[in-house]
Structure 1
Amino acid sequence: MATASPLLLRGGLLIDTDPYPAVLGPGDLLVENGAIAAVIPAGDDRPAAPPGTEVIDVTGRLVLPGFVDTHRHTWQAGIRAIAPDIDFPGYLRRVLGELAPRHRPQDAYAGTLAGALECLDAGITTLVDWSHIHRTPEHTAAVVGALREAGIRTVFGYCYGADGDLAALAAEGRRVRREHFGAPDPLMSMAMAALGPEIAGEERAVAEWRLARDLDLPITVHMGGHGAESAERGLGLLARHGLLGPRTTYVHPNFYTGDALGRIAGSGGSASVSPLIEAELGIGHPATGRARARGVPTGLGADTVTAGPGDMFSLMRAAYTLERARPERAGAGFTTRDALRMATIEGAEAAGLADVTGSLRPGRQADLVVLRMDGLGQTPAHDPIGAVVLSADTRAVDTVIVAGRVVKRDGRLCHPGLPAALAALAGSAAHLAAA
């Protein structure tokens, strides 16, 4: 990938998130070689832009790190809102049992590309794609190609979905790692999306963990969302086999006790909560505050747009509301700054990318979002962070930058293939919804 041209974002109100969200004040942000080179407070001694730098005037707008989605089944964009008002057994039956098998490789491509572009359009610059549509090698090639075409920073979570025994799982996992991730990619890396012991049973879970270790891959796994007994049994399995360790993200960890969350934190694990989907599908009350109180880095995820929204503003508001609504006001200390931290640097930490993205610290990749706050319902923004979490929506997303490249400008996505992607999505959706 060619080096991005230098950028200077001039005159915005800068909001950093590391170590904790704070308004830095008005100033400039210099981007060189795709990374944040300098944060320059406003003042009379403001230096001139280096030669060849594109200057973007963001006066009156908020400049903050791009959002990080730590759990999304991106391929499901073609079946958006197909299963509202559903519970978890209904989701398994309708979406995974009926609709997933209808997906051809071209459907997996169309859904993944549109879903990734949707993220960028909404200010999500980093995505953990929990991808379980890999029925054939052609499906895998389609999904990986779509993510690269979108240009979003991605942790590609590969979940083996074809028929076959554990030897086939291992062989295909190794092939995917070798063929699609054999060379370094500055925007994309691979993880093992493990079904885990609570979904696929103990034998497959052990095989998934051992394969991930053999391939030096992090793990993202659905664990802790299937009842208290199941949660404890699954965590105990990992401990007995010496598999409880770092670089593991526990998705929907809602039924873990405080002690179990402490064990996860002590092992170096992280968590991802999907507050809207967890509440809607009945996967337990989001463990947001309980996990964070035990020291578990916790990010937010849209999970599935088949039954929920795909933007981070909705997720921050849901996390904020559900946490503060815990019985006896147990979550009343959770703030809008906590919600923004989960959507940025804490999400990056959960995704294993805290040294890459999620803050305005010089040296981090320039993954940025610029928000307008002059629309009805957003102005005046007396507390800018509170306004981002409680008042903003996707209409506020003015400019989005990934690794120093502008992917959305003046409220319009810049991707040249957007019309074709939308047309392909419409055709795919018609095929998938047909009886």
Structure 2
Amino acid sequence: MTTPLLLRNGTVIDTAPAPTVLGRADVLVQDGRIAAVGPDLAAPTGTEILDASGRIVMPGFVDTHRHTWQTAIRATLPDSTLPAYLQRVLGELAPRYRPDDVYAGTLAGALECLDSGITTVVDWSHILLTPDHTDADIAALRASGIRAVFGYCHGGDGDLAAETARVHREYFDAPPSTVTMWTAALGPEIAGEERALAEWRVARDLGVPVTVHMGGHGAESAARGLAFLQDNGLFDHPAMYVHANFYTADEFKRIAAAGGTVSATPGVEAALGIGEPATGRAHAAGVPTGLGCDTVASGPGDMFGVMRAAYFLERARPDGAWFTTAEALRAATLGGAETAGLGGVTGSLTPGKQADLIVLRTDTLGMAAAHDPIAAVVLSAETRHVDTVLVGGRVLKRGGVLQGHDVPSLLDGLERAAARITA
């Protein structure tokens, strides 16, 4: 049970159904959920008051695609390409990871998310070389306090179906918590159709959705992958399509009709030459669309940088004037929550939802005198402006400082792991 909390007199931005500045208002949090939003709310007995005057109060960001374990290899591949990334990161560096490296990298990455206002992350984990690696990743996510979708991508030589079932049974076959499970599928476009059948079928058997890299390997491969899912009766299984760069408008409509969603990682997609990000095209076709940081090996680890990448890349299109700062903010919050299957849980200030909130400072040279709070969040804010972070009503960052973690010791361990992994 969390202490009731009243965020008093902030400039409140809600995102449902679209980003809107509510003006000066209060947000009441009770039992970990948003109880009320409005001016001059009464504070129940025992409520902690957090003065948000001169601050922006809004839903936390949702990162729909992140390889969180890669925190220890930050900036190893700037100015690179996707083939070089696959060779260096997955071919050379990943096999050097020990379970304790996975724990350090994932915990540091999850705390980096929280520090920058990301309250929910889809952790697409393809470093699970052994059961010990898997256990370390889950332990780190839980220790961080972040809301997470653990994307299980089977690695090593064991039986894929049996090990996926073990992970689900031991960690996720219980009432929902802040960490839930999806299958992170390598097939059919990366690891082939035989692997895809095994991954998608076990996901269907366990009743968990799939997050998959599909649509980013050329138009022919994108079409062939969707046909494969259709032919094998898998297309209607809940799925998030990551790097959907080469799907056509008709294919996006088919994905939407099947209940699929899209995660765009515009910064890394542009940096690694994967293709033109599909952020706007997917959203325009009616597909729930979110944003992701992807990998800090080649891109930023905060949603501010990703929102700006999405905004400027979409606005650069001849028909891109419709993509506004409000569209970028929605993709980073409620759109991301919908993409991750959490639209009823987080992403907006709707009473009854989990209290996943952030408070942003505006008393800096970079944020002062902003006339449009939504535009200021998208175009001007940075991690240093994130003053307070709540997940499920728990205060995980206060006064600009992460709570409950020995960050200097964690960073020391991360540096040691990084030195060994990249030696």
Q: Say whether residues 1:362 and 2:362 are aligned partners.
A: no
TM-score (norm 1): 0.96
Amino acid aligned to 2:347: G
Measured against aligned partners, the alpha-carbon deviations of 1:343-363 in whole angstroms (never above 9, x if no partner) come to 000100000000000000100
Aligned CA distance change for structure 1 residues 432 and 179 (closer, same or farther; 3 Å) = same
* Distance in 2 of aligned mates of 1:383 and 1:40: 20
What's the CA shift for 1:189? 0.4
Structure 2 counterpart of 1:265, from 250, 256, 273? 256
Q: Quick one: which of 378, 383, 387 aligns to 2:367?
A: 378
Partner of 2:167: 176
Query: Residue type of the partner of 1:396?
Result: H
Q: State the partner residue of 1:314.
A: 305
Identity %: 65
1:133 is matched with 127
The answer for the alignment partner of 1:20 in structure 2 is 18
Kept in 1, the 8 Å contact 2:389–2:398? The answer is: yes
| Partner Cα separation in structure 2 for residue 353 and residue 186 of structure 1 | 12
Tell me if 1:199 matches 2:190: yes
> Is structure 2 residue 70 aligned with structure 1 residue 79?
no
Q: Say which SS state the counterpart of residue 322 (structure 2) adopts.
A: coil
SS at match of 2:16: coil
* Cα deviation, residue 186, structure 1: 2.0
SS in 1 for 2:120: strand
1:7 aligned onto 2:5: yes
Give the Cα separation in 2 of the matches to 1:309 and 1:200: 27
The alpha carbon displacement at 1:241 in A equals 1.0
Which amino acid in structure 2 is aligned with residue 91 of structure 1? Y
> For 1:238-277, what aligned pairs fall within 5 Å after superposition?
238-277=229-268
Q: How does 1:148-297 map to 2 (within 5 A)?
A: 148-164=142-158, 168-297=159-288
Counterpart-to-counterpart distance in 1, 2:171 and 2:18: 36
User: Matches of 2:258 and 2:97 in 1, distance apart?
Assistant: 38
Q: After TM superposition, which residue ranges in structure 1, 4 or more long, deviate above 3 angstroms?
A: none
**Within 2, Cα distance between the matches of 1:320 and 1:287?**
12
Instruction: Describe how 1:34-113 pairs up with structure 2 within 5 A.
Output: 34-41=32-39, 46-113=40-107
Q: Which amino acid aligns with 1:113?
A: L
Q: Using the alignment, how far apart are the partners of 1:223 and 1:330 within structure 2?
A: 25
Please, which runs of 5 or more residues in structure 1 have no aligned partner? none
- For 1:120, the equivalent position in structure 2 comes to 114
Corresponding residue SS for 1:78: helix
CA distance in 2, matches of 1:362, 1:47: 14
Which residue of structure 2 aligns with residue 146 of structure 1?
A: 140
TM-score normalised by L of structure 2: 0.99
Mean CA deviation greater in 241-250 or 14-23: 241-250
Query: SS in structure 1 opposite 2:409?
Result: helix
SS in structure 1 opposite 2:153? strand
Summarize the Cα distance change of 1:358–1:47 in structure 2 as closer, same or farther, 3 Å threshold: closer
Alpha-carbon distance between aligned partners in 1 of 2:177 and 2:92, rounded to the nearest angstrom: 36
CA drift of 1:306 comes to 0.5
1:140-175 per-position Cα deviation (integer Å, ceiling 9, x unaligned):
0100000000000000000001125xxx11011011
- Consecutive unaligned residues of structure 2, counting only runs of 5 or more, are none
C-alpha distance 309-189 of structure 1, shift in aligned 2 (>3 A): same
Q: How far does the alpha carbon of each residue in 1:11-44 deviate from its partner, in whole angstroms, 9 at most, with x for none?
A: 1011000000000110111000000001122xxx
Which residue of 2 is the match for residue 305 of structure 1? Answer: 296
Distance in 2, matches of 1:379 and 1:220, equals: 39
CA contact (8 A) 2:113 2:301 kept: yes
State the distance in 2 between where 1:83 and 1:415 align.
32
Matched, 1:397 2:386: yes
Structure 2: distance between partners of 1:419 and 1:183: 34
RMSD across aligned positions (CA): 0.9
Instruction: Please tell me the residue identity of whatever aligns with 1:187.
Output: T
What secondary structure does 1:296 align onto?
Answer: coil
The residue number in structure 1 matching 2:339 is 350
User: 1:409 aligns to what?
Assistant: 398
Q: How many residues align?
A: 423
Is the Cα–Cα contact under 8 Å of residues 204 and 237 in structure 2 kept in the other structure?
no
